[in-house]
Structure 1
Amino acid sequence: MGEEGVKVKFTRIKTQIFASMRKIICPFDRLIDKIPEHGYHLDLGCGYGIFCSFLSEKKPNIDITGIELDEKKIAIAHENYANKHIHFFTGDATAIKATKEYDSITCIDLLHHIPSNYHEDVLRGVYSSLKDDGIVIIKDMDKQPFLKYLWNYIHDIVMTRSVHMYYISKQELVRLVEKSGFVLVEAQDIPNVLYAHYYIICKKDQHGHSKEEPS
């Protein structure tokens, strides 16, 4: 096996290990239970495509699109998980250019990797990409308790090799989605020994905002 073959094999093994760890660390099941059984789903900031694959296993009648800024991650997602029901594209979460409207959209541990002043841009794109009766699930890490926040910050530094994180608390995110034209459906902490997981579910505010002009 040549040097290039060794690199490819190592990347596959590393991705498989990461996928296994990701499924243990992140409460995917709690999120998948909230997603409709049919329709079109967008996973924004899909990374290596792990959640897309897991969702397709649990709900095979969904057509899934994953969008990720990192071209290397998208290439790995394509190689490992792309099929007739799962599609991957390179794209910027702060400037979504969706070709269709989706029944459900997830943003899983995405916002804290994007500078805070772009969070509204992300939500604006999510709003315009969502069907009128669709749902949005945003899962992220809270700032409290402090020790869990610190542990997750260290985890992210190791995984991303960057010290720049932009965590948003559950309360802050609730205010931001409501400001961006959504109605809150649910906001929950997810118990975990090490990580301060939380998620919120929201829908479009059909009365106070229009699709073309979310505030």
Structure 2
Amino acid sequence: MIKRSFDIVFSSLGLILFLPLLLIIAFLIKLESQGPIFFRQSRVGKNNRDFKIFKFRTMFIGSDKKGLLTVGNRDPRVTKVGYFLRKYKLDELPQLINVLLGNMSFVGPRPEVRHYVNFYSESDLKILSVKPGITDYASIHFRNEVELLRESENPEKFYIEHILPDKIALNKKYIEQNSLLTDIKIIFKTLLTIIN
């Protein structure tokens, strides 16, 4: 109950405070390339239910059909504005809408697409017992994920065999330590990671 109240209050404040920035970003996205402002994708949320996540569109239209993973910061599918947004995590700001709607929280396991959830073991599915979040331990640990994938000969295989298991372990760690204090610590660590 406390966590939900926290989410409602601060997602509402965030949307109000960041409104000028959100409008500027929306204008720049439309100025550079054709297509919608938002990229909406199905992700797996609490209780193994799919929901649509909101992000600012950072790729050219149809790019998601060429692969689920972004490989390297200079992936040719990413627009110039998109590169900047991704670098400073500004593409994630629209997820404040998801938090306000109640299908995400500020802190919680990052929601995966169904394709990767299908690789979860039975015990891994307990990750889906909590709401997914905008940030978590894995987001901080794998802040350079796109570069790790770029250096791999087979990004898809590398993600499934190396990155995904580590993310699952970190998500389980979060569930074991789940508390408002843990959430606040993760939020501050995330902000420090973005600044640095």
Question: Which structure dedicates a bigger proportion of its chain to helix?
Answer: 2
Asked if these proteins are the same fold (TM beyond 0.5), I'd say: no
- Which structure shows the bigger proportion of residues in strand conformation? 1
Q: Of the two, which has the highest radius of gyration?
A: 1
TM-score norm. by structure 1 comes to 0.27
Q: Greater relative contact order (Cα 8 A, min sep 6): structure 1 or 2?
A: 2
TM-score normalised by length of structure 2: 0.29
